[in-house]
Amino acid sequence: MSNDLLLQLITGVYAACNAARLVSYVPQIIAVAREKSGAHAISLLSWSFWLLSHAATAVYCASVVKDPLLAAMMWGNTVGCLGVVTLTAIKRRRYGWTQKSDRNARVNELAPTLR
């Protein structure tokens, strides 16, 4: 396999994976939007870090690598992460930032429906 063909293959796989990743934010955003509590299963720290990481990569791609398509893909990832972080923060503000530590209260809430 020639070097050019290998580079084209790597580029194609990378582009396909990133396109799929852009679409993969949608189910997470929908899940957070439908959440009826503070979305405590979502790690704001992780999603915020990924947001900053994608933004830094987008700036790097645009200014150092000079690849506008790659930069646009990274900005798309940044926007996806921003959607998750923003919706999660809204849910936490609306329903409370801390998760209830009393698990028995939740079990007691569900108990009547299980009978």
pLDDT in tens, the chain (115 residues): 899 999 999 999 999 999 999 999 999 999 999 999 899 999 999 999 999 999 999 999 999 999 999 999 999 999 999 999 999 999 999 998 876 655 545 555 555 555 5
On whether residue 108 sits in a domain, the answer given is no
In this prediction, residue 33 carries a pLDDT of 94
In this prediction, residue 64 carries a pLDDT of 98
On whether residue 104 sits in a domain, the answer given is no
On whether residue 110 sits in a domain, the answer given is no
In this prediction, residue 96 carries a pLDDT of 85
On whether residue 113 sits in a domain, the answer given is no
Spatial CA neighbour of 80 closest among 17, 14, 27, 37: 27
On whether residue 80 sits in a domain, the answer given is yes
On whether residue 109 sits in a domain, the answer given is no
Spatial CA neighbour of 87 closest among 41, 23, 56, 19: 41
On whether residue 112 sits in a domain, the answer given is no
On whether residue 84 sits in a domain, the answer given is yes
Task: Give the domain range for residue 83.
Answer: 3-98
User: What 8-state DSSP symbol labels residue 39?
Assistant: -
